[in-house]
Amino acid sequence: MGSFDSLEWLNRFLDETPGDIEVGGPTRQVPNACWSRVKPTPSPQPKLMLWSEEMASKLNLDRPDGIVLGGNEIIEGMDPYAQRYGGHQFGNWANQLGDGRAITLGEVKLQSEVLELQLKGSGKTPYSRFADGKAVLRSSIREFLCSEAMYHLKVPTTRALSLVTTGEEVLRDMMYDGNPALETGAIVCRVAPSFIRFGSFQIHTASNDYDTLKTLVEHTVKTHFPEHSITSDEEIVQWLTHIAKKTAVMISHWMRVGFVHGVMNTDNMSIHGLTIDYGPYGWLEDYNPGWTPNTTDSATRRYRYGQQPKIGAWNLARLCEAMVPLMEDPSQLHEALEAYSQSYGELQNQMWAGKLGLSSFIESDEELIVELNALLQEVETDMTIFFRLLCSIEQPNIESLSDAFYDPSNIPTKLWNDWLSKWWKRVNGLPNRSEMIVSNPKYVLRNWMAQLAIDAAESGDFSVCEELFNLLKNPYQEQPEFEEKWFQKRPEWARHRVGCSMLSCSS
């Protein structure tokens, strides 16, 4: 274990792709470039408040002070930059976007992998547009806790190393309603193989900059997909198929645990199939496939829970479109999209087999699952509790699952008992309980749980953050000492509270 200056730093993205000739500077359009060099804005009083020992161990890092992670010192070997990309936001092309409040410090070469370290909330970049490039404590806590929680849920994700409070206050209009307020500033250090997104390629195709597009694709494949090549149409399609299948795996896991990303724009889609950019996310409380936590999406619910698989396909189609200039026969790109659909369908079958303890998925199980999904929507039913209780049911009777319902007096008892009898017969009274337990978490980072941690931290108490951080390292274990406190339905006070039932993109 050591310090930041003991790490082996690389800057392959800067070395191998074209960049901005200007360093730092004001918000601006940056044509024909993949990045802009920029230094983090120093924090007035950086203080390390949350630290992932697991991530630190992987990086061979001892716990530091907040100087480097607060943006106040650049270690030799670091070459900080902000990435330029575009994207479709809520279905509409938004042109240049880029890292408006994230600055990559560099890549760290480890024994078996290379990981990129990025500070989120560390100040203005050329892509900040009208914003200040800062982040606040509430959004930073949500990102830190959720990144690590998702990793332990076995959901593909970026990771978090640290959370540093900056010692300054940041003005935010949380609900975009004309009522801004000062909030505590914070910076999260997040970690991934890279932060290249679908939109990283889209921006160059949209501006007809095919040379930069080709250079970026070559770098990405050589660096992150060395088993692939792009010397022919067939090879490009094989590479995109790889990305499509990884994306299908990620979204299938979201659906398994009831996670709603909330803002599946193409600039928020990782080419590694990792959950990236934790903003207005949430977990299903009531099993409502139409629910989205994002207030910005409240009118159309484009990114609602049940729509996420289709949005994954839509976003992949946009990525494929971005590759058309590199293809002689673009019609072959349909193969990658078909691979996504086929892969996702197979993964969904596997997911339901696991959640219901089936030995394998057979065609007739489709009807059983359709009926289950309809029943879960009949009355307000907690998804996480329902499936976790189902893991230990001894008889096909809904009384054993009554704690999953918000109003037990309103349970459609006969319908449920009929379905449970069908399921019980299907598994011969012997569901695969071990498989069910690893498919159905007991603890997830519900929004009301995160809000309790935020409320405490904003008054200087990070003990709730630490408790949740440790709880969520073992989401499939019983942890009886926490059951009464954290294995429960959404409290009534959280039903309509901002931060629990709804969040904005500034959250």
Catalytic positions are 267
Torsion angle of the four alpha carbons 25, 29, 32, 33, in this order, in degrees rounded to the nearest 10: 40
Q: Is 182 helix (H, G, I), strand (E, B) or coil?
A: strand
DSSP E strands, 33-86: 35-37, 47-51, 81-83
- 146, containing H or E segment: helix 137-152
Q: Which residues of 27-50 are buried (b: 16+ CB within 10 A; e: fewer)?
A: beebeebbbbbbbbbebeebebbb
Helices (H) and strands (E) in the chain, counts: 15, 13
Q: Is 332 helix (H, G, I), strand (E, B) or coil?
A: helix
Other beta carbons within 10 angstroms of residue 416's beta carbon come to 23
**CB of 504 within 8 A of CB of 175?**
yes
How deeply is 394 buried, as exposed, middle or buried, from its count of CB atoms within 10 A (0-12, 13-18, 19+)? Answer: exposed
Other beta carbons within 10 angstroms of residue 410's beta carbon come to 11
